[in-house]
Structure 1
Amino acid sequence: MTLGTVIPRTLLTWIGIAVLSGMGAVFAWNWTAASANWVEHTLVAQRQFSMLLSSAQDLELGQRGYLLTNDTVYLEPYERAKSSIDKIYSDLAVLVEDNDEQVATLKRIRPLIDQRITIIEDSLAHMRAGRTDEALAVPKSGAGKAVMDQLRSEIETAQNKEISLYNVRQDAFDRQKFWLLAALLSTLIASAGLALLSLIREKERIASLEQSSKTLALVNRSLERRVTERTEELAIERDRAEAEKERAEGLLRDVTHRIGNTLALVVGFLNLHIRHASDPMSIKTLTGARSRVHAIASAQRRINVTNDLDLVRIDSLVESVIGDLAATMNDDNIEIKVDIPPLLAAAQVATSLCVLTQEFVMNSTKHAYREGDKGLITVQLAKADKGSVLKITDDGRGMADDDDDGDGEEADEKDGREGLGAQIAKLLSRQFNGEISYQSVTSDAERPGTQVIVTLPDLKLTVAADEPHVDLEKAS
């Protein structure tokens, strides 16, 4: 059993003692007050009996003065006593109504008072009538004295009983005062003990709070130390991650640079073959191959990788590749417009999408317009409910029956053979599970225009946020 469990039990004990002592003090106070009231009641009764006896004596005093002097002035004590006796008697009847013996005594006193008044009135009547001898004979007869002696005896008996009651009640009052003092003292002792115990409890609580504060301070310092250590570890890990990222970016730049150099070398070899070739068909074939390799090199060189090194800005990439194509065409009559919102695509499919787009743009530049015609080719790429949609629209002569796809190979409809460009476009679109369709733009007979719609269900595009990216071309 610890001090923490002992103190609450002791505290409850002292609280119980204090409550009981307080209740005892209240009870003792009420008891003592009741005893004091009874003592006072007895004293009042004694005083009333004394007043009753005094009034009876005043009756005789007034009678004697008047009989001796025949002067009515001496009847004043008699008249005053006679008028006050009834009130004194009524007050006594109320005071002793709880005491049967005193009630019986009062009942014996009343006839004696009335009898004594009757005797006195008889003598006074003789005196007023001038019969002095007869008036004096009444007191001398001794009848009045006998009644008065009996009355005095009854009143003294009642007074003695009140004195006895007073003594008993005074003793009870003294005892109750003792118990009241004892209860008050017990209450004070219990209150003092309770206060002392509360003080001990408060000191213990303060000590516990101080100990808790010290423990909390130690834990806080420990946590701060751990947070500092963890922050340093995270800083080291962050620096390490940044270093790894920089290394990965450097490696990616190096790979891109090497691929670009390799493709540039291939383009150089194709240029050599074109310069040494004499057959027009071979020159067209080599020129088409060079354009496609150049598109791949252009896309690879211009890939801008975002911070996660997995996505590229496909809008700027397609615009750059088509811009390179327009520069190699050296034809101011044909305007190529790229209308693609900021989108992100996977880096591994970006080159294929650029080559696919270039195939359709090249096809439009070669077949949609006659030599010297002016026109506008629009490239659009957007997200769809399922995947993406690529649209290449021109305002040229429409879907003319032209068997040459511009790659130096003629399409033979009789044996179902397609041109090389169409085959490449189909192969690239299949990479995205795509389908190719054609439709006229207007009803103009001369220049209805053509729109190529390529649905690409497996091409997932993401709206680009305003975030920094790695420009591999500039970095290399």
Structure 2
Amino acid sequence: MKKRLKITFVAFCISFISMIALSLFSIGRFTTLTNHSNAVSHSNKVIRTLYRAEVYFKDVDRWERGYILANDTGYIRAINGASDSLVQMLDSLDALLSDNAVQSRNMIDLRETIGSRIRSLHENFSYIDTSHAKEASPYYFEGRKLTVNANRLFRVMHATEIRLLKERQDKQVFYQKLTTSTIKTLLAIFCMITLFLFLLLMRLMRAGILYQERLQAKIIDLERSHSELQDIAYSISHDLQEPLRKIQVFSNMLIVRKSNSAEDDGTKDTLTRIYGSANRMRSLIADLESLTNLTRIDEQKASVNLNTIIEQVVSDMNDTIKENNAVVRVEDLPTITCYGSQMTILFRALMDNALKFVKEDTKPEIYVSYRIVPESELADGGRPMPNQQFHCISIADNGIGFDNRHISDIFRMFRRLHTEGSRYEGKGVGLAICQRIMANHEGYIRGEGVPDKGATFKLYFPV
């Protein structure tokens, strides 16, 4: 499943990068097409402005002849208006042709020629008004030459711009076709990538559904097995109690009879051993029943102040604490949402451990502390949720401790680090019960020990 997810992730990354690259390529094509379209529009605007400037120039030339023939001052006003418009057109052409070196040089020549033509026109008018001559003035013939030269420059600039327009139109058509083919290609590629990702996703979903179905089947089998184990545990904890009680009763009766008998053939000692073993078995079955009951939770979680729980546990164990001359120090503990009865069992088991495994000639000390820790402190165990915080409650003692090499054994059912003949009592059930309680609260329990120096058990409850 992880391999499929990895393949899917890689495929999505490759597809995403491909789509970005193709999109950037498409944007480049559109940008180039837009630039060429703008260039075509620019050339058309230059040509239109040239035509208008040429029209105004021809108007000036035509109205000059009209004034010579009719000597009407209305022609002078028309010439002045046309000259002003012509100057505006020339200014517009200067701005439009600033990016074209050839046309800019032509524009300089045209502006100088038209300026000389306007000056010769005004000099011609002055000559006519002062001399009253009937023949044409020399300024008129000079103006005709300037007009021919200006018309020639207009034609050159028109031809240059029309040739440039043709080139730009050809490029525009070429990039229009290229952009169209690019869009079609990109659409085909996008469709293929989308189809590939869709099929890959459907395959992954189908695999996930099959995996979920198999997991559901295993869960059903597990629940059935769990139910069967609960029935077996119930049978062990209840149905086996009766024969054990009978063994104890009859063993005790025989012990009493042997006590009244003068014979000493070792039978009494054997019966005493039988009675002790049966009693120990009853105790083990009771512990097993306690652990089994923790898997069936009939209690509702509630907000519980752990200070109240620990005070009750210390009060209940007061006789044992005084008997061992122990010192118990408790920091202020938090209020958490939990099963109150299970918290009592949990702290009683840990306090009992701390009072049970003490060193000789050493005053027992138990220290219960509290702090909030990040999830990184639990990185060695089952991974909790990222960025999760935990209430960490530590129960530390100065007892005999243990070797951390055995840390995986101390939480297992009926596992003891001490032999039967050891001075330390215990059946290897207490810490297994603690671990079960922490699992019921989606928490964790960790143990750290130093031989002959003490042990610390840490409880982690999700905040």
1:68 corresponds to 2:55? no
Q: Distance in 2 between matches of 1:93 and 1:76?
A: 26
CA contact 1:109–1:151 (8 Å) conserved in 2: yes
User: Aligned residue for 2:245?
Assistant: 246
Deviation of residue 127 (structure 1)? Answer: 3.9
CA contact 1:62–1:76 (8 Å) conserved in 2: no
Deviation of residue 205 (structure 1)? Answer: 2.0
1:231 corresponds to 2:230? yes
Q: Distance in 2 between matches of 1:6 and 1:177?
A: 39
Q: Which ranges of structure 1 fall in alignment gaps of 5 or more residues?
A: 264-305, 312-340, 344-384, 387-459, 463-476
In 2 relative to 1, CA 119–75 (structure 1 residues): closer, same or farther, beyond 3 Å?
A: same
In 2 relative to 1, CA 139–177 (structure 1 residues): closer, same or farther, beyond 3 Å?
A: farther
Q: Distance in 2 between matches of 1:44 and 1:121?
A: 31
Q: Distance in 1 between matches of 2:239 and 2:64?
A: 136
Deviation of residue 200 (structure 1)? Answer: 1.0
CA contact 1:28–1:180 (8 Å) conserved in 2: yes
Secondary structure of 1:133's aligned partner: coil
User: Aligned residue for 1:80?
Assistant: 81
Deviation of residue 250 (structure 1)? Answer: 1.6
Deviation of residue 50 (structure 1)? Answer: 1.6
Deviation of residue 233 (structure 1)? Answer: 2.8
Q: Deviations over 1:112-139 (max 9, x none)?
A: 21232123212322343471525xx139
Letter paired with 1:109: L
Q: Please say which structure displays the higher CA radius of gyration.
A: 1
Letter paired with 1:73: G
Q: Distance in 1 between matches of 2:11 and 2:191?
A: 14
CA contact 2:113–2:150 (8 Å) conserved in 1: yes
CA contact 2:46–2:96 (8 Å) conserved in 1: yes
User: Aligned residue for 1:159?
Assistant: 158
In 2 relative to 1, CA 53–139 (structure 1 residues): closer, same or farther, beyond 3 Å?
A: farther
Q: Distance in 2 between matches of 1:97 and 1:7?
A: 55
Q: Deviations over 1:402-427 (max 9, x none)?
A: xxxxxxxxxxxxxxxxxxxxxxxxxx
Letter paired with 1:247: K
Deviation of residue 243 (structure 1)? Answer: 2.9
**1:290-305 to 2 correspondences below 5 Å:** none
CA contact 2:4–2:204 (8 Å) conserved in 1: no
Q: Deviations over 1:206-253 (max 9, x none)?
A: 211210111112211221232233233333433453133212222144
In 2 relative to 1, CA 228–10 (structure 1 residues): closer, same or farther, beyond 3 Å?
A: closer
Q: Distance in 2 between matches of 1:124 and 1:258?
A: 163
Q: Distance in 2 between matches of 1:140 and 1:204?
A: 92
Letter paired with 1:106: M
CA contact 1:55–1:82 (8 Å) conserved in 2: yes
Secondary structure of 2:229's aligned partner: helix
In 2 relative to 1, CA 7–240 (structure 1 residues): closer, same or farther, beyond 3 Å?
A: closer
User: Aligned residue for 1:92?
Assistant: 93
Task: Tell me the percent identity.
Answer: 16
**1:179-190 to 2 correspondences below 5 Å:** 179-190=178-189
CA contact 1:61–1:78 (8 Å) conserved in 2: no
Q: Distance in 1 between matches of 2:119 and 2:184?
A: 61
In 2 relative to 1, CA 310–203 (structure 1 residues): closer, same or farther, beyond 3 Å?
A: closer
Letter paired with 1:231: Q
1:37 corresponds to 2:3? no
Deviation of residue 67 (structure 1)? Answer: 2.6
In 2 relative to 1, CA 239–115 (structure 1 residues): closer, same or farther, beyond 3 Å?
A: closer
Deviation of residue 198 (structure 1)? Answer: 2.2
Letter paired with 2:179: L
Letter paired with 2:199: I
Cα RMSD after superposing both structures: 4.1
Letter paired with 1:221: I
In 2 relative to 1, CA 200–70 (structure 1 residues): closer, same or farther, beyond 3 Å?
A: same
Q: Distance in 1 between matches of 2:222 and 2:100?
A: 86
Letter paired with 1:232: D
Letter paired with 2:111: R
Letter paired with 2:110: I
User: Aligned residue for 1:104?
Assistant: 105
Q: Distance in 2 between matches of 1:27 and 1:253?
A: 100
Deviation of residue 30 (structure 1)? Answer: 1.2
1:18 corresponds to 2:19? yes
Q: Distance in 1 between matches of 2:125 and 2:210?
A: 102
Q: Distance in 2 between matches of 1:203 and 1:53?
A: 70
Letter paired with 2:184: L
CA contact 2:120–2:140 (8 Å) conserved in 1: no
Deviation of residue 153 (structure 1)? Answer: 1.2
**1:44-59 to 2 correspondences below 5 Å:** 44-59=45-60
Q: Deviations over 1:339-379 (max 9, x none)?
A: xx999xxxxxxxxxxxxxxxxxxxxxxxxxxxxxxxxxxxx
Q: Distance in 2 between matches of 1:68 and 1:224?
A: 119
Q: Deviations over 1:97-121 (max 9, x none)?
A: 3333222222322332123212321
Which has the higher relative contact order, 1 or 2, with Cα contacts under 8 A spaced 6 or more apart? 1
In 2 relative to 1, CA 258–101 (structure 1 residues): closer, same or farther, beyond 3 Å?
A: same
Secondary structure of 2:240's aligned partner: helix
Q: Distance in 2 between matches of 1:310 and 1:260?
A: 24
Letter paired with 2:186: T
User: Aligned residue for 2:148?
Assistant: 149
In 2 relative to 1, CA 196–131 (structure 1 residues): closer, same or farther, beyond 3 Å?
A: same
In 2 relative to 1, CA 159–246 (structure 1 residues): closer, same or farther, beyond 3 Å?
A: same
In 2 relative to 1, CA 130–72 (structure 1 residues): closer, same or farther, beyond 3 Å?
A: farther
1:119 corresponds to 2:150? no
1:219 corresponds to 2:218? yes
Deviation of residue 18 (structure 1)? Answer: 2.6
User: Aligned residue for 2:198?
Assistant: 199
Letter paired with 1:79: N
Deviation of residue 262 (structure 1)? Answer: 5.8
Secondary structure of 2:137's aligned partner: helix
Secondary structure of 1:98's aligned partner: coil
CA contact 1:115–1:147 (8 Å) conserved in 2: yes
Deviation of residue 8 (structure 1)? Answer: 6.7
Deviation of residue 54 (structure 1)? Answer: 1.5
What TM-score does the superposition give when structure 2 sets the normalisation length? 0.52
CA contact 2:121–2:139 (8 Å) conserved in 1: no
User: Aligned residue for 1:280?
Assistant: none
Deviation of residue 70 (structure 1)? Answer: 2.4
Q: Distance in 2 between matches of 1:12 and 1:206?
A: 18
**1:387-466 to 2 correspondences below 5 Å:** none
Q: Distance in 2 between matches of 1:7 and 1:209?
A: 13
CA contact 2:114–2:150 (8 Å) conserved in 1: yes
CA contact 2:120–2:139 (8 Å) conserved in 1: no
Q: Distance in 2 between matches of 1:188 and 1:63?
A: 64
Secondary structure of 1:166's aligned partner: helix
Deviation of residue 165 (structure 1)? Answer: 0.1
CA contact 1:25–1:183 (8 Å) conserved in 2: yes
Letter paired with 1:159: H
Letter paired with 1:244: P
In 2 relative to 1, CA 146–227 (structure 1 residues): closer, same or farther, beyond 3 Å?
A: same
